[in-house]
A and B are shown apart, each in its own frame.
Chain A
Amino acid sequence: MVKTTTEPETIETAADAAVADETAPAPPKAVGLMSGGLDSTLAARLLKDQGVDVVGLYFNTGFCTYDHRRAIGRKNEDPRRLRNHALQAGAAAQVEIRVIDVADEYLEMVKNPKHGYGNAANPCIDCRIFMLGKAREIADQEGAEIIFTGEVLGQRPMSQHMDSLKLIERETELKGRLLRPLSARRLSATVAEREGRVDREQLLDIKGRSRREQEDLADTMGIDEYPQPSGGCCFLADRNFGERFHDLLTEEKTWGRRVGRDEIMMLKVGRHFRLSPLVKAIVGRDEGENHFLERFRADRWRLAAVSDVGPVTLVTGSPDDGQIMTAASLTARYGDGRDRETVEVKAERFGAADPGIPEVPAETRMLTASPAVAAEDLARLRVGI
């Protein structure tokens, strides 16, 4: 008997061809970290182009600066500049992108990273281990033998030199499965490469901080839009944010008050002033930040000048009367009434959200505040810049 095979009308990829040929083995499957940056996009394409069934994972950690700029919603900002790069990369390369919310678990890791922080609040090695651990869970559930990343040997100082890459492999128990297509030929072969399911010769041997090879490859592949790797996409790597973060963490580590996701969100906006170990005033700097802060007024004091354009101020913790007055002075100091002797400030205490943002305050006070806060007091109270 002659065996016939069915061919589809169009064959888009080697993977499609393998599926069409009933006698061919199923293509190998890979799950990988895709931030939308050029390196992870290239890594995905290198595998897809040789017939690997690729799924990209984008983890929502809660520390992405692009996500925050969207939430601030400044009207004059071009929405195209705020798009999710991982989704755009997936669209361009026709790679399935799964968006996964890991913010709560990720925060617990950031509070206590085993391998410490970089220059700010960036636990880059623990972050890698966390994400690869999540990728591994998904890969095991779906029968994917390969986990890939866009890491390039020698590119990032903390997490991408040889010792770090090996440490990450050990801690995630991914030795033999973790594939970095852009630098694969400088690293030990994975099982999939050794056994011929991935062609190692089609992978690359990039090393170092130059972007030239990646940009040339992007041209060849027709990848025309990608964010520039100038950093600044993660709040944790920002020194100002890092200072505020470590300050906030003392509330938990020294004083035993658990820090939650809401307070992390508020670190991203405003001027921060520590009034006592468990009380802080956060003063909005513009309309977008004021609007953002309003979302977090449940269970907090909210202050704003009655007759002047100016900031919304939130006070966290349980402030006493003196601290509320200080917050009122700060509110006056940063508003349009700053050159007057006094400014009328309304202070409202809101109860819990039930759900959503509470509309009616539980208590209201009208305060006459002096905007004249001494420079040395500002400096003493200020957290970060």
Chain B
Amino acid sequence: MTEPVPTGDRRALEEKRAAQDLVPERTVDALGLYCPVPIIRTAETIKGMGAGEVLEVLSDDRVVLIDMPAWCLSMRHEYLGFREDGPGWRLYVRKR
């Protein structure tokens, strides 16, 4: 039987801070958009990227800090964490 990802692991991922030296290949500006739209934009953009490339997502919807790591887990992309940026956040995803 498939074992689910433990809740504790998911929560740890939600609190992950991104490394300072991350350089993304592409950026999605999702400022002013509410979940799930930032996720939709992320999914559309990451389709056109190569495996191992890093996508940066700008968002000011605080729920994205919970939804993005969940989406990454379901899609098996690597969630690299977030940084605060003014009233919003920069999130980082590495395409599998």
Residues of A within 8 A of B (CB): 12-13, 45, 48-49, 56, 58, 60, 67, 70-71, 73, 79-80, 82-84, 87-88, 90-101, 221-225, 356
Given contacts A67-B36, A87-B39, A99-B39, contact A94 B1 (CB under 8 A): no
Instruction: Name the prevailing secondary structure of the A interface residues.
Output: mixed
A-B contact count, CB below 8 Å? 94
Partner of A88, one of B37, B43, B70: B70
Q: List 9 A-B contacts (CB under 8 A).
A: A56-B74, A79-B63, A80-B66, A82-B35, A82-B63, A83-B70, A84-B63, A87-B67, A97-B71
Q: In this assembly, does B23 line the interface, its C-beta being within 8 Å of a C-beta of chain A?
A: no
Given contacts A83-B63, A87-B67, contact A221 B1 (CB under 8 A): yes
CB pair B34–A70 under 8 Å, yes or no, is yes
Given contacts A79-B63, A99-B36, A99-B39, contact A87 B4 (CB under 8 A): no
What is the bound-complex CA distance between A90 and B5, given in angstroms?
10
Complex contacts, B10 vs chain A, CB 8 Å: 88, 91-92
Q: Which of A13, A84, A95, A98 gathers the greatest number of chain B CB atoms within 10 Å?
A: A84
Shortest CB distance B79–A (Å): 10
Q: Which of B36, B66, B71, B76 gathers the greatest number of chain A CB atoms within 10 Å?
A: B36
Shortest CB distance A58–B (Å): 7
Q: In this assembly, does B3 line the interface, its C-beta being within 8 Å of a C-beta of chain A?
A: yes
Say which size band chain B's interface belongs to.
Answer: 20 to 34
CB pair A90–B2 under 8 Å, yes or no, is no
CB pair A87–B74 under 8 Å, yes or no, is yes
CB pair A97–B75 under 8 Å, yes or no, is yes
Complex contacts, B73 vs chain A, CB 8 Å: 90-91, 94
What is the bound-complex CA distance between A224 and B4, given in angstroms?
10
CB pair B2–A93 under 8 Å, yes or no, is yes
Partner of B65, one of A48, A79, A225: A79
CB pair A58–B4 under 8 Å, yes or no, is no
CB pair A67–B74 under 8 Å, yes or no, is no
A-contact 0/1 string along B28-60, CB 8 Å cutoff: 000010111101100100000000000000000
Partner of A83, one of B32, B37, B67: B67
Q: In this assembly, does B61 line the interface, its C-beta being within 8 Å of a C-beta of chain A?
A: yes
CB pair B62–A79 under 8 Å, yes or no, is yes
Complex contacts, B71 vs chain A, CB 8 Å: 87, 90-91, 97, 99
Q: In this assembly, does B20 line the interface, its C-beta being within 8 Å of a C-beta of chain A?
A: no
Complex contacts, A13 vs chain B, CB 8 Å: 2
What is the bound-complex CA distance between A79 and B64, given in angstroms?
9
Q: Which residue of B lies closest to A82 (CB)?
A: B63
Given contacts A93-B4, A223-B4, contact A70 B70 (CB under 8 A): no
CB pair A94–B7 under 8 Å, yes or no, is no
Shortest CB distance B6–A (Å): 8
CB pair A84–B67 under 8 Å, yes or no, is yes
CB pair B70–A222 under 8 Å, yes or no, is no
